[in-house]
Structure 1
Amino acid sequence: MVDPLAFRFVNTLRATGRGLTDAFATPESTHDWLLANAANLGVYLDLEAYHPTEADRLALVELRRNVRALFAEAVAPQAPSSADAAVLPPFADALAALNRAAAPVLRRLEWDDAGPRPEFRLLTSGDIDTLRAGLADAAIEFLTGPLPEQVRVCPAPRCVRYYLKAHPRQEWCSVACGNRARAARHYQQHRD
């Protein structure tokens, strides 16, 4: 199963063996992520021709911070991801920021021979507003759907990802994180 867009968006911040990496570290890497996720953005924007500025990149980073704050609320009382727990805005501020970002989206229901489907109408002409609105709408869609109760924070050492608990016995976001957690536990037991 492919992760929903909102999930991929919050997990653009992740840990590697070299430390924390950010898919939005530069305007170029931001453009690469947008291109890789273009099919799921639900916005009518030529992403091949669009090249984010530094201000655009910062706007997306700020939106991600707000969506991660909402994910942190979704996993409560579990602790939020350690990647940015210290810099997350308060829940009410994050909720208001997400709704402001989504404001340019008008979602309509279209129904044709293929059946019902949502159609987005954007009430903005600015590229960054369009992107923020599409990502905010994806977060709203995700957070109001059936999956938020399955969101967990990976407890493996150095991991900062959120994951969807697909199986009752699943404890980590990946096999690699499970191995790292077991190795750390083994090391700790034998060190003591």
Structure 2
Amino acid sequence: MEESPSAEPVLPPAPGAEQYPALDFADSAIALPGGQFIDLLGTPAAANRWLTERGLAPAGAGLQEMCTAQLRSLREQVRSLFASRVAGLPALPAALSAVNDALTRVPTAALLHWDEKNGPFRAAPHPITEIVDHALATLAANAADLLTGPDAERLTTCGSAPCNRYLLRHGRRHWCSTRCGDRARAARAYARRTRPQPM
């Protein structure tokens, strides 16, 4: 498994990724032509960078491999749910359980605290040790919103093999990027040129 050598994105975000961070999350494992694979959550440093760029963790959070493995595991479950939705098949119970578990990791109510100088105040718990739980809950909630909302009908996979990214279809477009669209059109043109001609 290769990891992106720099912070430069390999492909632009897929259509819908700006609106749904869970779509961007599912697309953080990228299959490229030639058997190449890039995992934007492949190492703790890469995962920390990915979360920081999306406002889900501070720059110096110091994620460990255990945290990164939790992110990759949830990503695979979200991808499973997206695949089930796109194919019109029932979701795997393990995928539903993983997303629901992530949803319940973070308290939704702001807790009561007491400051000696200013007195009582309410704030959601969010210490450094809960950064990953908060990120997992945020991404799981966003995936659930996408799967249950009006945009679920537009969820599809990129139509250019071997790309494995998800996107929200816009009109007839079925590709996650111009590069994938060009590759799909070139493959179709090549197939037409090499097709045996009738005599």
TM bucket normalised to smaller: 0.7 to 0.9
CA-based RMSD of the aligned residues comes to 2.5
The CA distance in 2 between the partners of 1:151 and 1:105, in whole Å, is 27
3-state DSSP class of the match of 1:183? helix
Give CA deviations for 1:69-110 in whole Å, capped at 9, x if unaligned: 1101110149xxxxxxxxxxx6111001110111023446xx
Paired residues, what number?
Answer: 164
Q: Which residue of 2 aligns with 1:180?
A: 183
What runs of 5+ residues in structure 2 fail to find an aligned partner? Answer: 1-15, 110-122
Give CA deviations for 1:106-165 in whole Å, capped at 9, x if unaligned: 446xxxxxxxxxxx9458853322221222122222222211110011121221111101
Is 1:96 matched up with 2:112?
no
Is 1:29 matched up with 2:46?
yes
Any conservation in 2 of the 1:161–1:173 contact (CA below 8 Å)? yes
Instruction: Give the residue type in structure 1 aligned to 2:165.
Output: R
Cα–Cα, structure 1 residues 134 and 77, in superposed 2: closer, same or farther, change >3 Å? closer
Cα–Cα, structure 1 residues 77 and 133, in superposed 2: closer, same or farther, change >3 Å? closer
Candidates 40, 61, 72, aligned match of 1:61: 72
**Which has more radius of gyration?**
2
Deviates more, 1:56-65 or 1:140-149: 140-149
Instruction: Give the residue type in structure 1 aligned to 2:74.
Output: L
Q: 4+ residue stretches of structure 1 with deviation over 6 A? A: none
The CA distance in 1 between the partners of 2:139 and 2:178, in whole Å, is 28
Instruction: Give the residue type in structure 1 aligned to 2:52.
Output: L
Deviation at 1:15, TM superposition (A): 2.7
Q: Which residue of 2 aligns with 1:86?
A: none
Any conservation in 2 of the 1:122–1:130 contact (CA below 8 Å)? no
Identity %: 33
**TM-score normalized by structure 2?**
0.73
Candidates 10, 16, 20, aligned match of 2:26: 10
Any conservation in 2 of the 1:15–1:21 contact (CA below 8 Å)? yes
3-state DSSP class of the match of 2:42? coil
Cα–Cα, structure 1 residues 122 and 136, in superposed 2: closer, same or farther, change >3 Å? farther
The CA distance in 2 between the partners of 1:157 and 1:69, in whole Å, is 18
Candidates 139, 152, 156, aligned match of 2:156: 152
What runs of 5+ residues in structure 1 fail to find an aligned partner? Answer: 79-89, 109-119
Matches within 5 A, 1:65-80: 65-77=76-88
Any conservation in 2 of the 1:15–1:160 contact (CA below 8 Å)? yes
Cα–Cα, structure 1 residues 173 and 127, in superposed 2: closer, same or farther, change >3 Å? closer
